[in-house]
Amino acid sequence: MLTKYVIGVDFGTDSVRAVLANTNDGSEIATAVFEYPRWKQGLYCDAKKSQFRQHPLDYVEGLESVISQCVQQSGAEIASQVVGISVDTTGSTPIAVDHAGTPLALLPEFAENPNAMFVLWKDHTALQEAAAINEHAKKFDIDYLQYVGGIYSSEWFWSKLLHIFREDSQVRNATQSWVEHCDWIPFLLCGGNQVTDIKRGVCSAGHKSLWAAEFGGFPPNEFFSSLDPLLDGFTKKLPAGTYTANQAAGKLSADWAAKLGLSTDVFVGIGAFDCHMGAVGGQIEPYYLSKIIGTSTCDILVAPKQEMSDKLVQGICGQVDGSVIPGMIGLEAGQSAFGDAYAWFKKLLVWPLKHIGADSGLFTAEQIEQLENQILTSLSEKAAQIVPTIEDELALDWFNGRRTPDANQALQGAFAHLDLASDAPHIFRALVEATAFGAKRIVDRFVDQGIPVKGIIALGGIPRKSPFIMQMMADVIGMPIRVHQSEQTCAIGAAMFAATVAGVFPRVEDAMQQMGQGFDKEYTPDPSRADVYANRYAQYIALGDFTEQRLIKN
């Protein structure tokens, strides 16, 4: 019997990655990475306005590059046995499309218009629209926000749509539908040319766009038309039904098969968000919190459906039937800035090197890059040597707003307890501690609302590369943290879904069991630091409450 292979594609914030895997054991036969060239140049973004847009060409070029590389690396014989492709993406990352399902930015008249591009998850230009949705929802007898934690975020589907429609009439008039990145890529691979053929995943629909089976789909048109007439009738432009990620969007089109060196018999799976497929790649278990840690974090927990019938968790990013594993409730939370907070601090420290050292000729570009690459490693080593006390520098991790608990993207980061002895390692340590405290608040929210958290599973680059950060998190949360062995858990999770879609496995749980790569590290809490961290955690909460109240007043 011939071995079958699958491809998982993971669209991240800075790059897209692909893995070609053996369905017998999950071994990675080939991998490839493509950095988005336009994004790398900072095009179409304005951090001061919290505007972060990505051109669809970055995604299209990246998709072809990474899959083609994997096919070439593996060879023609293996490529001929590829039976499925599934993708995950960041989210909510929607875009305006025309009647053919083509993103408007791929049309000449919109090629340089940021409003016609993918509105990245971290784009917070829709703060006013999110606030309006939250206030508007209070007018209805049915709580249409009950399955998204009770608070709608500026990071999500409807906020972004309304903001773009209010800001840009040209884009508004040309928009036939508004599509999540994870739903558009499968449509593209299947050769779709009618917007009505786009299949919408329950993951994106349930967590970000207020779709719920209990509502019969989306909230009624009255909800949207009375919010703003610009949204009148728009739900009719969206797919009414949804699909779980173990179902097929279709098969690979002849055009894409020729580009990639694959067969038109290859199944293409329904897409989902990176953290949801990443949790599967990381072999999630019921009531274990799976933390995909990168520029931000996305935290996923699954629970049996029958045990969640009367539970609604407030202040998270939603609970959706089948959004992670079909037949289970998927619960999502997260932190808006994790690695992004460290990257900000590194950028701050490296500024003199880039703007004084380079201009004066003291350092070459290569020397500056080498120093820049060493900064966080060196800071981690020094910060790890600091024995924590209750008087140490204290930080808030809200550099990109707060996602969970209780989304508020208007919040900002802060530091306290600074004095003339505060140096870079101490400030960095406070920043790491703040991200760990933010992680603990998510655990506490689940537990406080009756959802047990039996343990933590950590996935992604930071858990594998930074023992200091992971030990800090274990100490702060007071739970062991298992680190998954795979460096590409999101892509492997997508590959597991691809194998299920192609019929290699009857259930995605079987694919997890067969293709999972296990865990190779575990961090256990240091009990000697429990008291000081409990004290500092209380300080963190007090600082957050004070800061939030000040921002509300202003």
Question: Which residues are registered as beta bridge partners of 28?
Answer: 21
**Own/partner long-range contacts of 249-254 (Cβ < 8 Å, ≥24 apart):** 249/186, 249/187, 249/189, 249/190, 249/199, 250/186, 250/190, 250/192, 250/199, 251/190, 252/85, 252/189, 252/190, 253/189, 253/190, 253/191, 254/191
Match 């892509």 to its residue by tokens. Answer: 491
- Could you tell me where the beta strands, DSSP code E, fall in 112-224? 118-119, 177-180
**Which residue in 304, 316, 277 sits closest to 486, CA to CA?**
277
pLDDT, one tens digit per residue, over 311-363 is: 999 999 999 999 999 999 999 999 999 999 999 999 999 999 888 876 777 88
Q: Which CATH number fits domain 339-450+528-553: 2.20.25, 3.40.190, 1.20.58, 1.10.3470?
A: 1.20.58
Q: What is the pLDDT of residue 41?
A: 97
Q: Where does residue 540 fall: left (phi above 0), alpha (psi -120 to 50 degrees), or beta otherwise?
A: alpha
Give the fold, CATH level 3, of 5-282+486-519. Nucleotidyltransferase; domain 5 (3.30.420)
Q: How far apart are CA 109 and CA 106, in angstroms?
A: 9
Q: What is the pLDDT of residue 123?
A: 96
Q: How far apart are CA 237 and CA 176, in angstroms?
A: 7
Domain residue spans of the chain: 5-282+486-519, 339-450+528-553
Q: Note whether 59 and 183 are within 8 A (CB).
A: no
Q: How far apart are CA 59 and CA 451, in angstroms?
A: 37
Q: What is the pLDDT of residue 357?
A: 75
- Please provide the DSSP assignment of 222-291 as one string: HHHHHH-GGGTTGGGGS-S--B-TTSEEEE--HHHHHHHT--TT-EEEPPEEHHHHHHHHTT--TTEEEE
Question: Which residues are registered as beta bridge partners of 302?
Answer: 330
Q: What is the pLDDT of residue 240?
A: 87
Q: Which residue numbers in the chain have pLDDT < 70?
A: 358, 552-554
Burial of 449 per CB tally in 10 Å (0-12, 13-18, 19+): middle
Q: How far is residue 519 from each of residues 439, 456, 464, measured CA to CA in Å?
A: 21, 12, 11
Angle at which helix 530-553 crosses helix 467-477, to 10 degrees, equals 90
Q: Where does residue 101 fall: left (phi above 0), alpha (psi -120 to 50 degrees), or beta otherwise?
A: left
Calculate the CA 348 to chain-centre distance: 25
Residue 295 corresponds to which tokens in the numbers above? 């520029």
Residue 20 belongs to what H/E stretch?
A: strand 15-22
Q: Note whether 279 and 292 are within 8 A (CB).
A: yes
Q: What is the pLDDT of residue 17?
A: 97
Q: How far apart are CA 545 and CA 539, in angstroms?
A: 10
Q: How far apart are CA 261 and CA 341, in angstroms?
A: 40
3-class DSSP state for residue 127?
A: helix
Cβ neighbours around 52 below 10 Å, total: 23
Omega within 30 of 0 (cis) for the link into 153: no
* Widest pairwise Cα distance in the chain: 70
Q: What is the pLDDT of residue 2?
A: 86
